[in-house]
Chain A
């Protein structure tokens, strides 16, 4: 059994976002990158699945990205992954989700995985596309926003959280793509020996061409482009009530909600 974990590099949540002068790009010179937080749950689930299966499945950490993703894949190896695969996105930096999925699906096919774990969504673009699109391209089922995963033989029993606290329960055949939600598990920290070992673990640097993908061809088919960026309109300065009697302030705010803000 082989498990592939999909990892996306995302800007640290504290990053200040600065739109460049042309308005068509974000300045990323000072950006610090982290493993997309949901992908850590995917890594943890892969490691737990491996442990439950007696340590036999290989856990492959795979990313389509630039060289900054290398360090993050190695972090995943330090947590316990067995092998890293970095597929270079050189020339495809502006790929849309479907293009990313096409590359990942081809790579997964070559790997021959029986389970793919990913995050429910990347916290930068918040699309929730890539895992599901990859599943469709492979002809596999998927379940996303997963809070519970139980594997028995060739099947997975999966719980997915939807609105109103409702839970959808699925039985899916493997191979499948599972998108991790945060309550799936608690990701471990990499141990010091783990960090030492990670640098020596196998690491494959690949290009889409290695998986039979013609980069120029898929580039010419990109379907979603970002034309420009803008800051959200500034909120008018708020009103802060303090120092008055609490009941007076509560009354003022409730009246303003009806008369000025008109939300009640």
Chain B
């Protein structure tokens, strides 16, 4: 079965989650000859070497100055060109902000099925079978695609590990794609403040809640985060009170995160907060209230004042990682 994998890059850097998509795509395809990747961007030809060993024989590149800044219209046109050439039955991407933005457009254009944000996916009897957490993680749905020639899927980052399957390199094919529509122009992409991994991709997160009491106090979380390379998040109460910026919000109306480790400090564990972080592999909670709901989903809990406990965790983590 032929599988095309969309490999996401921003600013000339391939996203780590794109290698997870490649791994899934190569597995579904079964053999490297049936798997191809597609890259869209200003200069993607120089990136194709990085795909060696991931089980795809072919890489399509769509490049040029018109593709310097991400735009859904342009990216959909680029990937559409690769679909026309390769004629895959399955298109795999990542449920990142970019994938979630243009995959629905492409699905409507190709009259394709689209399974979004799955944590497991297989190909059986000519259909994609995907598992998707829903109702804020309270249950899981098994989805099946049907009635289409192209079956599309985006996978949740950090769930299915990337794995090289061999050493073969992929041959690059350049596709000429006309400059994207004038209906939508990306004017600029303003840089974020943080150089850290985004919450949605972070493998380690430490979050603060209302108990942080002010913005200044988030410093102790940043100090702890710096020791292990974690990203700092927040509850909505902390965001609404102005202690943290809204892009830091974890939860139902914030970000859904899926780290290996989530440390919740002074967060009670409302259903809406848990909606965004309950699938974390390991959860640590620090709270003065031993009956706080967050402890019901925590693997390890410490009953205590976060202003004392967090600096101690920072100290112990420093000893552990040895600096």
Contact = CB atoms under 8 A, between A and B. Distances in A.
A263 B261 contact: yes
Given A246-B309, A249-B304, A169 B188 contact: yes
B136 A143 contact: no
A227 interface: yes
A51 interface: no
A137 B303 CA distance: 54
Given A167-B189, A263-B281, A231 B136 contact: no
Interface residues on B, range: 35 or more
Contacts of B69: 168
Given A182-B253, A261-B299, A132 B101 contact: yes
A124 B300 contact: no
B220 interface: no
B192 interface: yes
A224 to B, nearest CB: 5
A30 interface: no
B84 interface: no
B46 interface: no
B14 interface: no
A8 to B, nearest CB: 14
Nearest to A166: B192
B284 to A, nearest CB: 6
Interface string B94-117: 001110111011011101111111
B174 interface: no
B298 A238 contact: yes
A164 B194 contact: yes
Size bracket of the A interface: 35 or more
Interface stretch (A59-67, A187-195, A250-258): A250-258
A226 B141 contact: yes
Contacts of A53: none
Interface stretch (A9-17, A72-80, A85-93): A9-17
A223 B228 contact: no
A31 to B, nearest CB: 10
A170 B184 contact: yes
Contacts of A173: 182-184
Nearest to B279: A232
A145 B282 contact: no
Nearest to B321: A264
Given A142-B105, A229-B142, A263-B282, A250 B183 contact: no
A7 B120 CA distance: 30
Contacts of A13: 136, 252, 271-272, 275
A229 B139 CA distance: 7
B271 A14 contact: yes
A94 B99 CA distance: 25
Contacts of B185: 170-172
Contacts of A98: 107-108, 111, 113-114
A247 B295 CA distance: 19
A167 B191 CA distance: 7
A221 B147 contact: yes
B260 A263 contact: yes
Nearest to B70: A168
A239 B278 CA distance: 16
B144 interface: yes
A38 B100 CA distance: 16
Contacts of B117: 126-127
A241 B320 contact: no
B180 to A, nearest CB: 10
Contacts of B204: 263
Contacts of A231: 138-140
5 contacts: A123-B253, A126-B117, A230-B139, A240-B298, A254-B317
Given A223-B147, A240-B298, 13 more contacts: A123-B252, A125-B134, A127-B117, A135-B105, A162-B97, A163-B96, A165-B194, A173-B183, A173-B184, A229-B141, A231-B139, A239-B299, A254-B316
Interface of A: 11, 13-17, 19, 26, 37-38, 96-98, 101, 123-130, 132-137, 140-145, 157, 161-173, 176, 182-183, 220-232, 235-236, 238-243, 246-247, 249-251, 253-258, 261, 263-264
**8 tightest A-B CB contacts, nearest first:** A165-B192, A163-B198, A141-B184, A242-B303, A223-B113, A250-B312, A136-B108, A132-B104
